[in-house]
Amino acid sequence: RGSDHGGDYATRWMSMPFFGGPIQAMGRRLGETRASDLEPLGKVYSYRSAMKSMMDALGCDHDEFFPADPAVDDFFIA
């Protein structure tokens, strides 16, 4: 099928590092998974939400992209 992504947590949760700029977390980890089975613990951030947040921070219009995903307020200093 052309994809290595399955329905398991191992192919769903990937780290998304953000460096520099107005990053609010400053060295903290946002989101967490349980090591034994990768069950999400707490808030989960999607790649679409992260990209929408980056577009917000850059002042880009994202109305036509990722309409169902909210931006993530935890990432950036307003």
Which neighbouring-strand residues pair with 23? 76
Look over the chain and give the mean of its residue pLDDT values, rounded to a whole number: 75
- Look up residue 7 and give its two tokens: 């329905």
**Residues 49, 68: Cα–Cα separation, whole Å:** 9
* pLDDT tens-place string over residues 30-47: 778 888 888 888 887 778
Rg of the chain (C-alpha set) = 14
Domain of residue 32, residue span = 1-78
Q: Is the pLDDT of residue 53 over 80?
A: yes
| Per-residue pLDDT band at 1 (split at 50, 70, 90) | very low
Q: How many angstroms separate the most distant Cα atoms in the chain?
A: 41
Over residues 62-76, the mean pLDDT reads 79
> What pLDDT is stored for residue 26 in this prediction?
67
In this predicted structure, the answer to whether residue 3 has a pLDDT above a threshold of 60 is: no
